[in-house]
């Protein structure tokens, strides 16, 4: 895995679903499902929607996503995890290797949706 590529996205996209304003609308319950998954599994990485199919990732016949290995961690998801006080394993490693700045992600978190269940 290319850690530099994983942490290439430094700010949420203009239509990131994690944003308070202007985020794309997902199917009902999808964003909450993503958030629960991120908190449940400390090792999960939610990939930025702009880096999935454009980098060669695809879904197979069983609707299982096959990553290209070139996807980036969603900055909105990282900001949301910071808002929860739960940076995951990948984020902590990214910080140790100086690929992300957890303090910058705290600033990003100010533009991120609060947890609603």
pLDDT per residue of the chain (117 residues) written in tens, 0 to 9: 788 989 999 999 999 999 988 888 889 999 999 999 999 989 888 999 888 877 777 788 898 878 777 889 999 999 999 999 999 999 999 999 999 998 888 888 888 877 654
Contact assessment for residue 44 and residue 88, using Cβ atoms and an 8 Å cutoff: yes
Residue 8 falls inside a structural domain = yes
Please state, in angstroms and rounded to a whole number, the distance separating the CA atoms of residues 92 and 68.
23
How many domains, the chain? 1
Please state, in angstroms and rounded to a whole number, the distance separating the CA atoms of residues 67 and 117.
29
Residue ranges making up the domain that contains 17: 3-111
Residue 64 falls inside a structural domain = yes
Residue 9 falls inside a structural domain = yes
Residue 76 falls inside a structural domain = yes
pTM of the entire predicted model? 0.85
Please state, in angstroms and rounded to a whole number, the distance separating the CA atoms of residues 49 and 16.
8
Residue 36 falls inside a structural domain = yes
pLDDT of amino acid 112? 84
């Amino acid at each position: 895995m290319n850690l530099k590529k994983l942490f290439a996205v430094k700010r949420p996209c203009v239509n990131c679903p994690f944003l308070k304003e202007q985020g794309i609308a997902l199917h009902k319950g999808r964003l909450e499902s993503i958030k629960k998954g991120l908190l449940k599994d400390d090792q999960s990485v939610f990939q930025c929607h702009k880096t999935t199919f454009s980098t060669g990732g695809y879904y197979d016949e069983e609707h299982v996503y096959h990553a290209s290995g070139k996807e980036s961690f969603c900055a909105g998801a990282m900001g949301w995890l910071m808002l929860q006080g739960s940076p995951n394993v990948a984020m902590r490693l990214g910080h140790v290797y100086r690929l992300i700045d957890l303090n910058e992600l705290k600033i990003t978190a100010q533009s991120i949706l609060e947890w609603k269940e």
